[in-house]
Amino acid sequence: ARNPKIRLVRISFDAVFDDLADEIARRVRISGIPVDDVAPQSGVAAAHTEPEAMITDRSRRLANAVDAAARAAGVQLFVFFDHPVIAFGDTLRWALAGFLDQALRLGNLRLVVAGYEAIQLPGQQFANPQEAAASSGPGLMVEYLTGFQRFDVENLIRRAGEALGHSIGPE
When mean pLDDT is compared over 43-52, 139-148, 152-161, the highest value belongs to 152-161
| pLDDT above 70 coverage of the chain, percent | 93
> pLDDT tens digit string along 116-143?
766 777 778 888 888 888 887 778 878 8
Residue 32 has pLDDT above 80, yes or no: yes
| CA angle (45, 49, 52) in 5-degree steps | 90
Long-range contact set of residues 28-34: C-beta below 8 Å, sequence gap at least 24: 28/66, 28/69, 28/77, 31/7, 31/77, 32/7, 32/73, 33/7, 33/66, 33/69, 33/70, 33/73, 33/75, 33/77, 34/69
The percentage of residues in the chain with a pLDDT greater than 90, rounded to a whole number, is 36
Give, in degrees to the nearest 5, the angle at Cα 143 between 141 and 149: 170
Chain centroid to CA 119: how far? 13
Q: In whole angstroms, how large is the CA radius of gyration of the chain? A: 18
What element of type H or E holds 161?
helix 150-164
Confidence of residue 4 (pLDDT cuts 50, 70, 90): confident
Please report the pLDDT score of residue 74 as a whole number: 95
